Amino acid sequence: MSKILNSKEIGWRLRVMRQQAGFTQEKLAEQIGVTSQQIQKYECGASKLNSDRLQQLSQALSIPVQSFFTDSDDYLPLAIAEKMLVDSYRAIPNKEVRDSILKLATHATKMTE
């Protein structure tokens, strides 16, 4: 159960990722079709990102939507099991097998009942 991030925290991530991508608020703003003031609001958490904006921003910054919600820090000290999981996954030469593992994982909740 991962923590739910508030709009301030999400806004901060947007800011960091925008800067890493080398955009000004203005440049990013015109790419997704809002004013730079609106980007500003996203970044301080005064406005919340909806599904459209999330996708537009992800595309503009070339990152997956998930980046807004999971700490990259979480992945650095990857728990042993998780590290094993990813390492194993990487090591699987057959794409179909990889895909089926991934699919299994993403749908695993259903199997618990």
Which long-range contacts link 26-30 to residues 24+ away (Cβ below 8 Å)? 28/57, 28/60, 28/61
Tell me if 71 contacts a copy of itself by CB under 8 A: no
Nearest to 25 by CA among 74, 60, 68, 50: 60
The region of 23-31, 33-41, 58-66 touching a copy of itself under the rule CB under 8 A is 58-66
Tell me if 109 contacts a copy of itself by CB under 8 A: yes
Quote the tokens at residue 102.
């991934």
Burial of 7 (0-12, 13-18, 19+ CB in 10 A): middle
Residue 16 touches which of DNA, a copy of itself, none (CB < 5 to 8 A by kind)?
A: none
Tell me if 33 contacts a copy of itself by CB under 8 A: no
Q: C-alpha 49: how far from its chain's center?
A: 13
Residue 91 touches which of DNA, a copy of itself, none (CB < 5 to 8 A by kind)?
A: a copy of itself
Contact positions vs a copy of itself (CB under 8 A): 1-2, 4-7, 10, 20-22, 48-52, 54-56, 58-59, 61-70, 73-75, 78, 80-94, 97-99, 101-113
